[in-house]
Each structure stands twice: as structure tokens, then as C-alpha cells.
Amino acid sequence: MKRKILELLASSHDHFISGETISRVCGISRAAVWKHIDHLKKEGYLIEAVTKKGYRLLGNDDMLETVFFRLPKDRVIGSSHIYLEEVGSTNVEAKAAALDYPDGSVVISDSQTSGKGRLGRYWDSAKGKGIWLSLILKPRISMAEAMILTQMAGAGVCDALKTAGYEAKIKWPNDVVVQGRKVCGILAEMSGEPEQLNYVILGIGINVNQNPSDFPEELRNKAISLKMVDSEEKSRNLILDLLLERLEHYYALVKNKDTAEIIKFCRNNSATLDNQVKVIYNDKIIEGKAINLTENGGLIIEDQTGQTMEIISGEVSVRGIYGYV
Ligand code: BT5
């Protein structure tokens, strides 16, 4: 019931909504409305109460869940959501919910105690400082085509950060960087048959308001938050709102099998292309120049002998980024 009231308040934006309307819509007494509002306030929501006018939700720039209540009703991304104050990993939670939730659902949390990177690595997810979310996606594509989803997420994040004024770039395959340091990591996990996916869990972590001291020692030269770029506290709600809108746009293209725009965006905003790279591939280190992205999102590398090869996943170090000199 408390969530229903929050949803009502959030969806009426800056307008007051009377206690009477809330009590009618929710089918509870005015006293019960007051009690729930009081609980919401104790949770940290800023709610203004004015006699004869009713209640309204103020700014709440840092209450991530309110963003979902305000989304246009025709959205796929965020059509359903699960908000958790704290969780081990939103990817793990999303996997558990995947069969019961529709395409485009989002699991989001203020804090992850065991945030996951690729290949068993960790993702540092300081409480209240970033956007830690997982999308549950069910596109009708094959496993081979699913590589595009990581590029789609990279494009969505990069585009949202650029709209917010940051010079963000995509480091293939799954990082977004600002000033040569990692501001976002993406983790795609899939389930299904080679010909048809059941679902993909697409985890996205964006560092928003960390100070350097919020990161563990080994990340200090490698990671960055948006706040560290210009020393200003950022509205996580604003970044989340921009991100959900851009993901909606790019995901619709994936579903229509019309991915050229995504690849074009990734090419135009790549931190990898035209640079020397080292790739760990089949236990070998390959050095060469990153020259292009394929239509599926693979990376084409040209080695010193002029031979080209396509890499579909792996560890890529780019000269000039994260200390590769
Ligand atoms: C990734 O892996 O970059 C994928 C990260 C995905 C995180 C999201 S958050 C929501 C969702 N739920 C999860 O549990 N995960 C997803 P990888 O390319 O393997 O990079 C991992 C490496 O990045 C680590 O080994 C660290 O070196 C570094 N790292 C860890 N936390 C970081 C942070 N907050 N910012 C920048 N770098 C970080």
C-alpha cells in the first residue's frame, strides 16, 4: 500500500493530491493514508503536506524508485521494476525474477554487497553513490546475435552521459570511460538455446557520486565517478532517467533487427577504434590496431603483418587507457 501511495504521488509530478483522493483510490481510511505517508517520510522521501491541498512529492533527486513511477506508460524498459535498498547483486536478483517478469523489467538497488564483474571479478558498488541495475530482456534473437546487447547498453550509457554533458566514450566491449577512466561496466548473462534466447540479464553499473576515497585502493587510477569530473554532486535520478530513455530507443532497434544506428554510434564514440590494442585471445596476446566494429558488434583488429581478425569477446587493453603505455 505504501508503494501504491508513493506511485500516486510520483505520477502526479509536482501537483498536490488530496488525502481524500488517495484514500479513495487506495480504498483505505484517511488515517491510514496519513500513517503510510509518515512511513514514507521516515524512509527519507520528502513529502510536503498542506492543509486543504493534500500531499506532494518534492525533488527527491536521490530516491531512484520515483523515476520508474514517472515513466511514460508505453515504455518497455522499466515497464516493471524491482527496487531493493540493498542486494548481493542485481544480476543475481534479476535472474531469479526473469521468468516471472516481462521483457524490459529493471532490478535496481542503492547498494550491492557482492556486485559482479565478468569472469568472477567484482564490481565495487558504494551505497547510494551510483546506479546499479539489471535489465531483464527477452528479445527474439539468437545467442550469436546477443553480442549486440552489450553494445546497445554501451551506446545507451554513453549517449545518456553525453546528454548530461560528459565526454564519454565506449571502450570495447563493455566499459564506458570518461577521461580515460572507467565510469561504467556492463555485464551480460544469457540463458537459452543457440537459436533462441530465453532471456538476457544486462547489468549496468555507473559511478555517479563517489569521491576518490570511496573506491578501493587498486581502482583509484582506473575508476572515475561523474562527481570526480567536475566536483559536483550529481542527481542520480536525472542520470537514470536519461539512461532509461536512451535504452528504450536502442532496445527498440535491437528488437526490429535494425542495429546499424547502434553500431554507428559505437563507432563514432569509441575509445578503442584507431588505437593500438593488446588482446588476450585463446591464451595468446595479440597486438595490433583496432580498425572497425562489425555489424554484430565484434571488433576487427589488424596485426603488424596487415592480417585482420574479428574478436567477439575478450580482454582488450587500449593504449592510453588504464595505464597501458
Ligand atoms: C564489468 O566487468 O565491468 C561489469 C560490471 C557490471 C556491474 C553491474 S552493476 C549492476 C549489475 N549487477 C552486478 O552484480 N553487476 C552488474 P569487468 O569488465 O570484468 O570489470 C571488472 C573490473 O572493473 C574489476 O576487476 C575492477 O578492476 C574494476 N572495477 C570494479 N568496480 C569498479 C567500479 N565501481 N568502477 C570502475 N571500475 C571498477
Is 276-318 a domain of CATH 2.30.30.100?
yes
Residue 38's SS3 state is: helix
Query: pLDDT confidence of 58, banded at 50, 70, 90?
Result: confident
Atom 27 (ligand 1): residue with closest C-alpha? 219
Q: Closest residue (by CA) to atom 3 of ligand 1? A: 185
Instruction: Tell me what the pLDDT averaged over the chain comes to.
Output: 93
**Ligand 1 centre and the CA of 63: distance in Å?**
23
- Regarding the beta carbon of 95 and ligand 1, being less than 6 Å apart is answered no
Nearest to 186 by CA among 176, 174, 177: 174
Share of the chain above pLDDT 90, in %: 75
Q: Where in the chain is the domain with CATH 2.30.30.100?
A: 276-318
Q: What is the mean pLDDT of residues 47-72?
A: 87
Tens digits of residue pLDDT in 223-232: 999 999 999 9
pLDDT in tens, 71-109: 999 999 999 999 999 999 999 999 999 999 999 999 999
CATH 3.40.50.1820 applies to domain 65-268: no
Does any ligand 1 atom lie closer than 6 A to the CB of residue 115?
yes
> Where does the pLDDT of residue 46 fall: very low under 50, low under 70, confident under 90, or very high at 90 and above?
confident
What residue ranges of the chain are covered by domains with CATH 3.30.930.10?
A: 65-268
CA 273 to centroid of chain Cα atoms: 23
Q: Is the pLDDT of residue 61 over 80?
A: no
The three grid cell numbers given for residue 131, joined into one nine-digit string: 546506479
pLDDT of 2 reads: 82
Ligand 1 centroid to 150 CA: how many Å? 14
Is the beta carbon of 89 within 6 A of some atom in ligand 1? Answer: yes
C-alpha to C-alpha distance for 139 and 126, rounded to whole angstroms: 31
Given a contact cutoff of 8 angstroms between Cβ atoms, the answer to whether 173 and 323 are in contact is no
Average of per-residue pLDDT across 4-9: 87
Could you tell me what percent of the chain has a pLDDT over 70? Answer: 98
Higher pLDDT, 43 or 260: 260
Per residue in 130-170, pLDDT tens?
999 999 999 999 988 999 999 999 999 999 999 999 999 99
Residue 278: predicted pLDDT: 92
Which residue's CA is the closest to the ligand 1 atom numbered 7? 205
Alpha helices in the chain (DSSP H): 2-11, 19-26, 30-43, 65-69, 90-97, 147-163, 226-230, 236-255, 260-268
Q: Is the CB of 207 under 6 A from ligand 1?
A: yes
Return the residue whose CA atom lies nearest to atom 37 of ligand 1.
223
DSSP per residue, 244-292: HHHHHHHHHHHHTT--HHHHHHHHHTBSSTTSEEEEEETTEEEEEEEEE
pLDDT tens string 244-293: 999 999 999 999 999 999 999 999 999 999 999 998 877 888 899 999 99
Partners of 308 in the β-ladder: 302
**Residue from 111, 123, 182 whose mutation best tests the ligand 1 pocket (most atoms within 8 A of CB):** 123
Rounded to the nearest angstrom, the distance between the alpha carbon of 101 and the centre of ligand 1 is 25
DSSP 102-140: -TTEEEEES-BSS-B-GGG-B----TTTEEEEEEEE--S
- Confidence grade of residue 325 (pLDDT, cut at 50, 70, 90): low
216 C-alpha to ligand 1 centroid (Å) = 12
> For domain 2-57, which architecture applies?
Orthogonal Bundle (1.10)
Residue 13 predicted with pLDDT over 90? no
Position 195 scores a pLDDT of 87
* Residue ranges matching CATH 1.10.10.10 in the chain: 2-57
pLDDT reported for residue 60: 67
Cα separation, 102 vs 79, whole angstroms: 8
How far, in Å, from the CA of 183 to the mean position of ligand 1? 10
Identity of the amino acid at 234:
K
